[in-house]
Amino acid sequence: MTDKVLGVILGGGQGSRLAPLTQTRSKPAVPIGGKYRLVDIPISNCLNSGIHRMFVLTQFNSASLNKHIKNTYHFSHFSSAFVDILAAEQTPDNPTWFQGTADAVRQTMHHLLNHEFEYVLILSGDQLYQMDFNKMVQAHIDSGVQITLATIPVNGKDAPEFGILKSNEQNIITSFIEKPKTGLEDWTSDTGPEMQAEGRNYLASMGIYIFNRDLLIKIFAENADEKDFGKEIIPRMLNTYDVLSYQYEGYWTDIGNISSFFEANLGLTDDIPKFNLFDSHHNIFTRARMLPPSKILGTTLDKTMIAEGCILQAECIKHTVIGIRSRIGRGTHIESCYIMGSDKYQTLDEIAKDVEAGKPLIGIGDRCKIVNAIVDKNCRIGNDVQIIGGSHLPDGDHSLYTVKDGIVVVKKGAIIPDGTVV
């Protein structure tokens, strides 16, 4: 069955709500969980579901994403599996860049049609979840529809952030509204006893679609002005075709802003996290790095995840995710942080030169205190630095860091001098 499915992963737009993490990279390339990238999630879900042919559509700040995919997803020469990048390209027929989710697929359709498939599975590149697409594809086939939309029950607080729909007893969608701000009481659904007990009475679109190949071709030929699946194509299709709602009840979060990104990462340190990295049936694949084991010297650790290749001499690290090649100095306290780590180790010569020049080394220095912060890759934080995030800090963008919702985001490659207080 899955050999009839072609996966298409949307690389996203500018990702301005995730700035400054998206200042030099696209959203799907943002590091998550200390060693992965966001794009690894949909790709891994496809591979775990037996879908081995995927295209990733990229446009904004795509260099690091392209590099990651090229270095990560290698398959046997005797296999038909691939994860290929389709970058936005200007052609005589399409002189513009991608204008939306549907426009991105439309502009790359001539590449997709070079392959044999019956169904297109369209995914977002910036969501965190573990889903068996086999079940969704089977539901699509069994129902006889030509379009299936993955949905998830949400509560009244979250509903205005999503496209909300209603369906009948056969799970065929009857109405759809994009991000409703008023009149929510008219959009409640029978989401099942378990979901209703949690107050999740609204069905939200997950931005995951299955289209029959022939219908997708027809849709694009009918109206070339439609740029977006959620805002334009899906609402129009409801008037003409049966669209199936496939309800998913597992963990799913849309990494839309700094706050949701921060919470998703720190949630990985829970005793039993909602997103389970230790599930052998839902492996998360990423680039294989030949890094040494992490080394910890005199550090008290609590609710902390540590990636490979770290050297930790901190006094205490709590409720924190530590990324690859992180170096943290003596006497340092870190709590409720995501430290992304570094792309390389400094040589002894480089360290000596930096010390002589009075320049902080890559990593975090001695006697620092960092709370409620995201430290992007390759930062140099000196000794005796205090970065204390919280509601007392107003939102703002500064040369070395940004504050959003009380979270301090130290920008990629930032150099924070000794004794700095944020």
Tell the CATH topology of 2-267: Spore Coat Polysaccharide Biosynthesis Protein SpsA; Chain A (3.90.550)
Q: Which distant-in-sequence residues (6+ apart) come within 8 Å of 124 by Cβ?
A: 9, 10, 12, 42, 207, 208, 254
Calculate the CA dihedral of residues 279, 282, 287, 291 and round it to 10 degrees.
10
Overall pTM > 0.95: no
The set of residues, in sequence order, having a beta carbon less than 8 Å from that of 283 and lying 6+ positions away, is 44, 47, 48
The strand pair at 369-375 and 407-410 is best described as: parallel
Distance CA 112, CA 338 (A): 38
What pLDDT does 236 receive?
Answer: 84
For every residue of 142-161, which 3-state class applies, written as one string?
A: HHCCCEEEEEEEECCCCHHH
DSSP, res 66: H
**What's the residue count for the chain?**
422
Please tell me the distance from the alpha carbon of residue 86 to that of residue 353, in angstroms, as a whole number.
Answer: 42
Interhelix angle 213-222/101-112, rounded to 10 degrees, is 120
Strand 243-247 with 147-154, pairing: parallel
- Spatial contact of 68 and 25, defined as CB atoms under 8 Å apart: no
Burial of 293 (0-12, 13-18, 19+ CB in 10 A): exposed
Number of Cβ within a 10 Å radius of residue 280: 6
CATH number at 295-416: 2.160.10.10
Distance CA 119, CA 314 (A): 51
Q: For residues 45 and 226, give the distance between their C-alpha atoms in angstroms, rounded to a whole number.
A: 28
Whole-number Cα distances in Å, 281 to 16, 249, 254, 323, 397: 34, 18, 22, 24, 41
Identify any residues that bridge with 83 across adjacent strands, giving them in sequence order. Answer: 54
Helix (H) / strand (E) element for 63: namely helix 63-72
Alpha carbon distances (Å) from 199 to 152, 169, 189, 203: 13, 20, 11, 12
Q: Select from 197, 190, 198 the least CA-distant residue to 171.
A: 190
339 with 294: CB under 8 angstroms? no
User: Which backbone phi and psi does 373 adopt, to 5 degrees?
Assistant: -145, 155
pLDDT at 90: 61
- 413 near 64, Cβ under 8 Å? no
**What does the alpha-carbon distance between residue 99 and residue 81 come to, in Å, rounded to a whole number?**
29
The full set of domain ranges for the chain reads: 2-267, 295-416
Q: What is the C-alpha to C-alpha distance for residues 205 and 389, in angstroms, rounded to an integer?
A: 33
Angle (CA) 160-166-169 rounded to 5° is 155
Tokens of 175: 């109405």
Res 254: pLDDT:
86
Half-sphere exposure of 321 (CA within 13 A, CB side): 23
The continuous run of DSSP H or E covering 45 comes out as helix 40-48
How many helices (DSSP H) and strands (DSSP E) are in the chain? 9, 27
What does the pLDDT profile of the chain (422 residues) look like in tens digits? 668 999 999 886 666 788 899 888 888 889 999 999 999 999 999 999 999 999 998 876 778 888 899 989 988 888 888 898 887 666 666 666 666 777 788 888 878 888 889 999 999 888 999 999 999 999 999 999 999 999 999 988 888 888 899 988 889 999 888 888 777 778 888 888 888 888 888 999 999 999 999 999 998 888 777 777 877 888 888 888 999 999 998 899 888 889 999 999 999 999 999 998 998 888 999 999 999 999 999 999 999 999 999 999 999 999 999 999 999 999 999 999 999 999 999 999 999 999 999 999 999 999 999 999 999 999 999 999 999 999 999 999 999 999 999 999 999 999 999 999 98
Alpha-carbon separation of residue 164 from 123, 230, 279 (angstroms): 18, 10, 31
Question: Is 314 in contact with 302 (CB distance < 8 Å)?
Answer: no
**pLDDT at site 389:** 95
